[in-house]
C-alpha cells in the first residue's frame, strides 16, 4: 500500500529517461523538477490528536455510510444496475455526473479502509464495484446516462459519445473513476475497480489524441486520474493522454474553444491568471503539477507558479477559499472578494489544497503549506458539520441569516441535487495524513502540527517522528525523534507564516502589528537558532532515539487587515489565533453582528471552551457598537464572543461576520 505521491516518484525513477524521450522537447530544469520532495504516505502517518482524529472517525462512522445511503436513495447506484440491464427504468437524477458521487465515496472509503480495517465496508465496496463493472459497455465506455438510453433526456449528455465534451462530463466521470480505482487497489490489493478503470482509460487512449479526436473535457479531473493510473500501472500511454488533454486546452486548431469558464481560452503555458470555474481550474492546476512532476516540464511549472502568484496576491479569501462568484461558480476579477456573496465552493477549497500541496512537493517551500493550512482549518473545514452529515456548498464570510446562499438554505444541508461537495469532503478528510510530512534525501519535513506520528524511510534507516501537541489551540509542539539507529540527518520544521507575522505569502493580508513573542526552538532542552530555509527551521545533527525537538509558536490573538484594493474589507479587521480564522455569530452577540466595532482599544482574550462546538478556543471580551433609540444612535460597549469560522452555523441560521468595522465612525457600522 502506498499513496499516489510515493508511487509517482518511484515510477519516475524507473521510467523518466524513456518518458522524456517519448514526450519529446521537454525541458529538463533544476527548479521545479520532479520528485524534489516526496510526501510521507498517509498509510505511514498516525493521526492521534484531539482535533483531527475525531473528525476522521466521524467521517468513517457517519459520513461514509450516510453518503452511500443517499446515493442509494437518489438512484445514483441503481443507475448502474439499470445500465447493466439488471433493472428496468430510466436514468434517475438530472445530472450526467451523478456516477461520480459513488466513485468519490469509494475513494474516501478506500483511504479509510487502509487506516482502519472494516470487513463490512470492504464487502459493501466489493458488491458496489460489481454493480459498476456490470454497467460498463463492452469497449470500456462507462456513463450510465447514455448506456441506459442513448436518446435519453439527461441534461448535457450530447447526441452521441464525446459530442458535447464541454458539458457532458463523460471525461470527468472517468477521472473520478480512476482516482477511486487507484485508491481501492492501494487499500485492498484488489484489482476489481482498477480493471474497470484501465478498460475505460484504454478506450480514451484509443479515442483521443493528435490524430484522433482532438478535444478536451469541459470539466477537468481526468488529467489527475490518468496521472494516478500511470502511477500504479507504469503505462506511459496514460500519462501521454493526460499531457495531451492539457496541451490541447486553449488551442483553436480544429475546434471551437470553450473559453475562460473552462480555462480553455489560451494554451495553459500562456495562462497567468486564475479564471473561470474554480473547481475546474484548481483540478487543472493540480493536474499540470502532476504532469510537470513526472515529465520535468519547466513551462508547465512556470505557468502554475504565475497563476498561483495571481491567486495569493489577488484572489484568495482569508479562509483559504477561492472562487468569489456564484455566477459560473467562478473566480472573480483581481481583488473581487465580496464577503456575503462569496461562493467559495467546498470543492474549490479541496482543489486549492491539492494544488498547493503539489506545488510544495515541486518547490519545497513552506509558503504553499501556509496556504494549505489556512484552507484546512478554515475554508475547507467549514464545509462539513461537526456531526458529519450536513454540508456547505458555498462558504461565505458573512451572512444576514436570511440569504439562502447554500442552494436554497441559509445553513448546512444534508445533500444537494449536485452533491459534489459532500462527496469531496468524504474522500479528502481520510487523505489528510498524506499532507503532514515529506522527505527529500536526508531531510525530513514536518509540514503540519498534528499529534501522532510519521514514519520516514530514508536509505538504510527508518525514522519515526512522534508529535505531541494540542495544536491548533496551543502552540507548544514536541517532536520525539526515533531513528532505528542513530544517524546524521536534517529535520525541517515548518515555522508557519502566521507565526512570522505573515498571514499569507503576499500583501493581500497583513497583521495590525507584529507579535513581540518570538518563536523558539529547542533540542533536548537547549535553545537552537532558527536556521531558516524556505519557511523551514532546519536542524541537522546526529540524531539518536529519544531526542526531543520542542517548538513554541506563540498564539496571541492577531488582528488582520486586508489590502485596500479589496472594496468589501476597507475599514475592517478580522481576528486570527494560530491557524484559525474567527467569526462573530448572532447566537453569541445578538443581532446586528455586522455593526460590532473592533476598534484598536477593545480588549479581547482567548478562552478554551471544552463544552462548546466539540471543544473550541473562543475569543471573548467587549467591543464597541451603536445603540439605537428611536431616531438617535449612541456609541456603546457590549460583550463579545468570536468562534472559529469553521464551526459557524451549528446553532441555527443567523448573522455571521468574519470582517468587522474597526472604526466607530465607520459609516456602515452606524447606519446598516
Q: What residue ranges bind Zn ion (CB under 5 A)?
A: 345, 347, 420-421
Neighbouring residues of 508: CB distance < 8 A, sequence distance ≥ 6: 312, 313, 314, 316, 562, 563, 566
Measured from the CB atom, the residue of 239 and 420 that comes closer to Zn ion is: 420
Alpha-carbon span 412 to 390, nearest angstrom = 5
Helix or strand (DSSP H, E) at 622: strand 616-629
Measured from the CB atom, the residue of 288 and 421 that comes closer to Zn ion is: 421
Measured from the CB atom, the residue of 347 and 656 that comes closer to Zn ion is: 347
Helix or strand (DSSP H, E) at 609: strand 604-609
Least distance in angstroms from the C-beta of 391 to Zn ion: 9
Least distance in angstroms from the C-beta of 424 to Zn ion: 6
Measured from the CB atom, the residue of 3 and 100 that comes closer to Zn ion is: 100
Least distance in angstroms from the C-beta of 421 to Zn ion: 4
What CA–CA distances, in Å, run from 142 to 15, 64, 170, 635?
Answer: 30, 23, 8, 65
Alpha-carbon span 493 to 513, nearest angstrom = 24
Measured from the CB atom, the residue of 276 and 578 that comes closer to Zn ion is: 276
Do 315 and 330 touch, CB atoms closer than 8 A? no
Least distance in angstroms from the C-beta of 310 to Zn ion: 22
Measured from the CB atom, the residue of 347 and 642 that comes closer to Zn ion is: 347
Least distance in angstroms from the C-beta of 288 to Zn ion: 21
> Residue 605 phi/psi, 5° resolution?
-145, 155
Measured from the CB atom, the residue of 156 and 663 that comes closer to Zn ion is: 156
Measured from the CB atom, the residue of 142 and 348 that comes closer to Zn ion is: 348
Terminal C-alpha separation, the chain: 57
Neighbouring residues of 429: CB distance < 8 A, sequence distance ≥ 6: 55, 56, 59, 63, 108, 384
Alpha-carbon span 190 to 97, nearest angstrom = 25
Query: How buried is 541 (Cβ within 10 angstroms: 0-12 exposed, 13-18 middle, 19+ buried)?
Result: middle
Least distance in angstroms from the C-beta of 419 to Zn ion: 8
Least distance in angstroms from the C-beta of 326 to Zn ion: 13
Alpha-carbon span 316 to 8, nearest angstrom = 29
Give buried/exposed letters for 115-126 (b at 16+ CB in 10 A, else e).
beebeebbebbe
Measured from the CB atom, the residue of 421 and 553 that comes closer to Zn ion is: 421
Least distance in angstroms from the C-beta of 380 to Zn ion: 12
DSSP states along 447-486: -S--SEEEEE--TT--EEEEEEE-TTS--EEEEEEEESS-
Alpha-carbon span 236 to 31, nearest angstrom = 24
β 476-483/437-440 pair status? unpaired
Measured from the CB atom, the residue of 347 and 549 that comes closer to Zn ion is: 347
| C-alpha cell recorded at residue 429 | 478528510
Cis peptide before 472 (omega within 30 of 0): yes
Do 583 and 572 touch, CB atoms closer than 8 A? no
Least distance in angstroms from the C-beta of 429 to Zn ion: 15
What CA–CA distances, in Å, run from 465 to 72, 78, 240, 311?
Answer: 42, 46, 38, 33
| C-alpha cell recorded at residue 672 | 446598516
Measured from the CB atom, the residue of 9 and 420 that comes closer to Zn ion is: 420
Neighbouring residues of 528: CB distance < 8 A, sequence distance ≥ 6: 521, 522, 539
Alpha-carbon span 71 to 180, nearest angstrom = 16
Least distance in angstroms from the C-beta of 377 to Zn ion: 19
Least distance in angstroms from the C-beta of 105 to Zn ion: 14
Alpha-carbon span 439 to 450, nearest angstrom = 17
Do 132 and 109 touch, CB atoms closer than 8 A? no
Nearest to residue 9, comparing CAs of 477, 492, 575, 457?
A: 457
Nearest residue to Zn ion on Cβ basis: 347
| C-alpha cell recorded at residue 187 | 487499500
Least distance in angstroms from the C-beta of 384 to Zn ion: 12
Alpha-carbon span 309 to 505, nearest angstrom = 9
Least distance in angstroms from the C-beta of 347 to Zn ion: 3
Measured from the CB atom, the residue of 382 and 421 that comes closer to Zn ion is: 421
Measured from the CB atom, the residue of 277 and 594 that comes closer to Zn ion is: 277
| C-alpha cell recorded at residue 232 | 500504479
Least distance in angstroms from the C-beta of 329 to Zn ion: 8
Measured from the CB atom, the residue of 105 and 232 that comes closer to Zn ion is: 105
Measured from the CB atom, the residue of 354 and 446 that comes closer to Zn ion is: 354
Least distance in angstroms from the C-beta of 327 to Zn ion: 16
Amino acid at each position: 500500500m502506498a499513496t499516489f505521491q510515493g508511487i509517482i516518484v518511484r515510477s519516475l525513477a524507473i521510467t523518466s529517461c524513456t518518458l522524456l524521450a517519448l514526450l519529446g522537447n521537454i525541458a529538463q530544469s533544476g527548479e521545479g523538477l520532479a520528485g524534489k520532495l516526496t510526501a510521507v504516505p498517509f498509510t505511514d502517518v498516525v493521526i492521534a490528536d484531539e482535533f483531527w482524529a475525531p473528525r476522521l472517525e466521524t467521517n468513517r462512522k457517519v459520513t461514509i455510510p450516510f453518503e452511500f445511503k443517499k446515493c442509494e436513495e437518489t438512484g445514483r447506484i441503481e443507475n448502474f444496475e439499470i445500465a447493466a440491464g439488471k433493472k428496468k427504468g430510466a436514468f434517475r437524477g438530472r445530472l450526467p455526473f451523478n456516477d461520480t458521487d459513488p466513485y468519490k465515496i469509494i475513494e474516501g472509503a478506500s483511504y479509510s479502509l487502509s487506516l482502519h480495517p472494516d470487513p463490512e465496508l470492504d464487502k459493501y465496496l466489493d458488491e458496489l464495484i460489481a454493480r459498476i463493472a456490470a454497467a460498463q459497455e463492452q469497449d470500456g465506455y462507462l456513463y450510465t446516462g447514455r448506456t441506459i438510453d442513448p436518446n435519453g433526456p439527461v441534461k448535457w449528455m450530447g447526441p452521441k459519445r464525446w459530442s458535447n465534451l464541454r458539458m457532458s462530463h463523460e471525461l470527468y466521470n472517468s477521472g473520478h473513476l480512476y482516482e477511486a480505482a487507484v485508491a481501492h487497489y492501494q487499500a485492498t490489493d484488489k484489482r476489481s475497480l482498477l480493471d474497470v478503470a484501465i478498460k475505460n482509460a484504454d478506450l480514451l487512449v484509443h479515442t483521443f489524441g493528435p490524430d484522433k479526436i482532438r478535444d478536451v473535457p469541459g470539466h477537468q479531473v481526468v488529467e489527475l486520474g490518468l496521472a494516478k493510473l500511470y502511477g500504479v500501472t507504469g503505462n506511459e500511454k496514460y500519462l501521454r493522454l493526460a499531457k495531451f488533454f492539457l496541451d490541447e486546452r486553449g488551442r483553436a486548431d480544429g475546434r471551437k474553444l470553450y473559453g475562460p469558464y473552462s480555462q480553455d481560452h489560451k494554451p495553459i503555458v500562456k495562462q497567468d491568471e486564475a479564471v473561470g470555474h474554480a473547481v475546474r481550474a484548481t483540478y487543472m492546476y493540480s493536474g499540470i503539477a502532476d504532469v510537470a512532476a513526472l515529465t520535468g516540464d519547466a513551462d508547465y511549472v512556470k505557468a502554475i507558479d504565475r497563476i498561483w502568484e495571481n491567486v495569493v496576491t489577488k484572489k484568495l479569501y482569508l479562509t483559504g477559499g477561492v472562487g468569489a462568484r456564484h455566477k459560473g461558480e467562478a473566480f472573480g476579477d483581481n481583488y473581487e472578494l465580496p464577503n456575503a456573496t462569496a461562493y467559495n465552493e467546498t470543492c474549490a477549497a479541496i482543489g486549492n489544497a491539492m494544488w498547493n500541496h503539489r506545488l510544495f512537493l515541486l518547490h519545497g517551500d513552506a509558503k504553499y503549506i501556509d496556504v494549505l493550512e489556512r484552507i484546512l482549518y478554515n475554508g475547507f473545514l467549514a464545509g462539513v458539520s461537526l456531526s458529519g452529515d450536513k454540508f456547505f456548498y458555498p462558504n461565505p464570510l458573512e451572512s444576514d441569516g436570511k440569504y439562502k446562499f447554500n442552494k436554497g438554505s441559509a445553513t448546512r444541508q444534508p445533500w444537494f441535487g449536485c452533491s459534489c461537495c459532500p462527496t469531496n469532503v468524504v474522500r479528502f478528510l481520510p487523505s489528510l495524513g498524506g499532507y503532514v510530512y515529506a522527505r527529500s534525501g536526508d531531510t525530513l519535513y514536518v509540514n503540519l502540527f498534528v499529534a501522532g506520528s510519521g514514519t520516514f524511510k530514508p536509505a538504510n534507516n527508518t525514522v519515526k517522528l512522534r508529535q505531541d501537541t494540542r495544536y491548533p489551540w496551543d502552540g507548544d509542539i514536541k517532536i520525539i525523534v526515533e531513528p532505528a539507529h542513530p544517524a546524521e540527518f536534517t529535520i525541517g520544521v515548518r515555522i508557519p507564516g502566521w507565526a512570522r507575522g505573515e498571514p499569507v505569502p503576499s500583501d493581500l493580508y497583513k497583521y495590525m502589528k507584529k507579535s513581540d513573542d518570538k518563536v523558539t526552538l529547542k533540542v533536548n532542552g537547549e535553545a537552537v537558532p532558527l536556521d531558516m530555509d524556505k519557511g523551514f527551521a532546519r536542524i541537522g545533527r546526529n540524531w539518536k532515539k529519544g531526542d526531543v525537538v520542542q517548538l513554541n509558536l506563540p498564539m496571541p490573538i492577531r488582528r488582520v487587515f486586508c489590502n485596500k484594493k479589496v472594496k468589501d474589507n476597507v475599514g475592517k479587521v478580522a481576528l486570527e489565533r494560530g491557524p484559525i480564522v474567527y467569526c462573530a455569530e448572532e447566537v453569541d452577540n445578538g443581532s446586528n453582528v455586522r455593526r460590532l466595532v473592533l476598534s484598536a482599544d477593545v480588549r479581547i482574550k482567548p478562552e478554551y471552551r471544552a463544552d462548546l462546538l466539540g471543544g473550541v478556543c473562543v475569543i471573548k471580551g467587549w467591543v464597541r457598537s451603536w445603540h439605537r433609540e428611536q431616531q438617535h444612535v449612541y456609541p456603546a460597549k457590549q460583550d463579545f464572543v468570536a468562534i472559529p469560522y469553521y464551526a459557524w452555523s451549528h446553532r441555527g441560521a443567523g448573522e455571521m461576520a468574519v470582517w468587522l468595522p474597526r472604526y466607530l465612525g465607520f459609516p456602515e457600522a452606524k447606519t446598516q
